[in-house]
């Protein structure tokens, strides 16, 4: 991870920028630089992952153009070889190819990238900033307008608090140029479905996921793997172990009293021969970390905050106790293949529309959680299920095949790897448990109990009415909103809504986002 920031005008003196930019120093603790452009500033905090020497430090410059990028450009070596016929490169950084690409292709360069990125380019021809974000929004970017009306871009909303009256998430799959946002990529709008049969679909899922994992194993810094014991992270770990051909380092976390997933994570680690570490968290740690986690996340959403507690504490232990810099994770599988609640989808088209909605909104929920929990601990996240080719293909699969008519959620993904025996059968066919539940049901129960103790019924009714946007509906949600407002006053609209199952579907009209509230939860959390 790195942190970037860009100012289109010099509304502030250069020496005043540090107050805002250094709020995300943990994203890039290795080296920092702020440069002046003729009209504004570009800022960069570096976490060295590719091209570890000082030559890889940004901003990169080509002529009078500059770029700062928080990203990984997959397949950059082949692109670099071709560009080397015309351009000279000084580092091993993947991001050094960006300005030559901009010189060659202009604004069409963004649709050519196989990457997760947020970048800001200073274009000398127009004396203006151009910004862009990857199609899923895996890398964060926000923007706002300062007191002089100048646009300011930043990796996190916290950089802009006090600087911009209103803070907006930069829309994924868009670039900003010459005062306008333009969509350059749309992964989820499917004009016609693939005609592949089930076996062909599963074969392609297998091939494309392996490719997505493989390209994310390219790093000059040490790699680690988050392993929950669920299907998604277990597959990423098992594939990585085979591709690398060596022992990998895996990490799992659970409550000290009733951790559900630790036993499954241990089983997977033993099966694939991983160097495995278990991290335990206590009720006291969860409650003591709550405010810090919400301040870090920049959200008031219930399920995002719950799921962040374990991930944050696990990554904190990794940062403090190891030399690992890059973590592979299992996010983005649920949005593509289904949650527990999508078992209730009333039709194939309803499933497809729900999947589209969830992928389009990932940047506000699971992707936000993974980025902040990992980056605040000076680590980089890589998400194989977010591979662009993989996402495009799975979204194009006929949703009739994705519906749970198999008495087993995510059947396509499971069947795709059934013959490989990469995982024990009881893991490959294990029912899904939500991460915030699987670290231990007691964690969510502790958070709810803490909120119940904090407010009387009268206080809850009085305080929640202060918020006319996404009004808190439980004491837990009020607690989170009040902490959020302390750090991001008046910025609640950065998040679209509470993440909840689709209440319009029969069986899904619940008052809590936990899958435990669904009738089909069954054996998931045991």
- Report, as residue numbers or ranges, the catalytic residues: 2
Pair type for strands 223-226 and 326-328: parallel
| Cα distances (Å, whole numbers) of residue 13 to 17, 39, 40, 203 | 7, 12, 10, 57
> How far is it, in rounded angstroms, from Cα 329 to Cα 381?
7
With tokens 């936000």, the residue in question is 368
Sign for the pseudo-dihedral over CA of 225, 329, 334, 434 = positive
> How far is it, in rounded angstroms, from Cα 343 to Cα 434?
15
| Cα distances (Å, whole numbers) of residue 243 to 218, 238, 408, 467 | 11, 9, 28, 50
Query: How many Cβ atoms sit within 10 Å of the Cβ of residue 346?
Result: 12
Token code pair at residue 459 = 């206080």
Give 95's DSSP letter.
G
The residues near 214 (Cβ < 8 Å, ≥ 6 apart) are: 243
Token code pair at residue 184 = 């350059």
> How far is it, in rounded angstroms, from Cα 167 to Cα 145?
8
- Contact indicator for 176, 130 with CB cutoff of 8 Å: yes
- Contact indicator for 425, 222 with CB cutoff of 8 Å: no
> How far is it, in rounded angstroms, from Cα 469 to Cα 493?
7
Radius of gyration of the chain (CA): 22
The residues pairing with 123 across neighbouring beta strands, listed in sequence order, are 128
The residues pairing with 65 across neighbouring beta strands, listed in sequence order, are 62
Closest alpha carbon to 458 in 478, 444, 485 = 478
> How far is it, in rounded angstroms, from Cα 329 to Cα 385?
9
> How far is it, in rounded angstroms, from Cα 95 to Cα 244?
24
SS3 at position 373: helix
């Amino acid at each position: 991870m790195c942190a970037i920031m860009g100012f289109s005008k010099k509304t502030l003196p250069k020496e005043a920028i540090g107050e805002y930019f250094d709020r995300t120093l943990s994203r890039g603790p290795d080296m920092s630089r702020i440069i002046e452009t003729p009209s504004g500033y570009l800022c960069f905090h570096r976490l060295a992952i590719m091209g570890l020497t000082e030559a890889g430090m940004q901003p990169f410059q080509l002529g009078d153009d500059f770029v700062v990028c928080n990203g990984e450009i997959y397949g950059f070596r082949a692109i670099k070889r071709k560009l080397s016929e015309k351009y000279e490169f000084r580092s091993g950084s993947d991001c050094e190819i960006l300005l030559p690409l901009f010189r060659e292709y202009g604004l069409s360069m963004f649709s050519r990238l196989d990457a997760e990125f947020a970048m800001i380019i200073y274009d000398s021809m127009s004396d203006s900033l151009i910004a862009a974000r990857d199609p899923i929004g895996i890398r964060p970017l926000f923007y706002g307008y300062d007191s002089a009306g100048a646009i300011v871009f930043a990796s996190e909303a916290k950089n802009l608090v006090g600087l911009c009256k209103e803070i907006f998430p930069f829309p994924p799959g868009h670039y900003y140029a010459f005062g306008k946002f333009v969509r350059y990529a749309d992964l989820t709008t499917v004009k016609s479905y693939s005609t592949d049969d089930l076996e062909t679909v599963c074969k392609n899922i297998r091939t494309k996921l392996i490719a997505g994992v493989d390209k994310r194993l390219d790093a000059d810094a040490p790699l680690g793997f988050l392993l929950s014991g669920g299907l998604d992270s277990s597959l990423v770990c098992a594939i990585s172990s085979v591709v690398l051909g060596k022992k990998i380092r895996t990490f799992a976390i659970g409550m000290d009293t009733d951790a559900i997933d630790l036993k499954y994570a241990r089983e997977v680690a033993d099966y694939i021969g991983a160097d495995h570490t278990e991290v335990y968290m206590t009720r006291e740690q969860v409650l003591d970390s709550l405010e810090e986690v919400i301040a870090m996340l920049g959200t008031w959403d219930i399920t995002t905050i719950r799921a962040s507690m374990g991930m944050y504490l696990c990554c904190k232990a990794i940062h403090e106790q190891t030399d690992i810099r890059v973590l592979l994770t299992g996010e983005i599988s649920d949005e593509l293949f289904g949650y527990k609640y999508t078992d209730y989808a009333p039709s194939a088209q309803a499933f497809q529309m729900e999947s589209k909605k969830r992928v389009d909104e990932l940047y506000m929920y699971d992707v936000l959680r993974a980025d902040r929990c990992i980056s605040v601990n000076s680590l980089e996240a890589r998400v194989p299920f977010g591979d662009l080719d993989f996402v495009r293909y799975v979204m194009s699969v006929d949703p009739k095949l994705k519906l749970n008519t198999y008495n087993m959620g995510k059947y396509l993904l499971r069947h795709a790897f059934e013959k490989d025996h990469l995982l024990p059968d009881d893991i490959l066919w294990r029912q899904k448990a939500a991460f915030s539940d699987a670290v231990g049901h007691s964690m969510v129960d502790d958070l709810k109990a803490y909120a119940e103790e904090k407010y009387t019924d009268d206080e809850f009714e009085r305080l929640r009415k202060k918020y006319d946007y996404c009004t808190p509906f439980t004491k837990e949600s009020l607690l989170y909103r009040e902490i959020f407002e302390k750090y991001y006053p008046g910025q609640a609209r950065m998040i679209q809504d509470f993440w909840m199952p689709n209440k319009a579907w029969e069986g899904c009209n619940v008052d809590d986002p936990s899958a435990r509230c669904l009738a089909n939860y069954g054996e998931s959390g045991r």
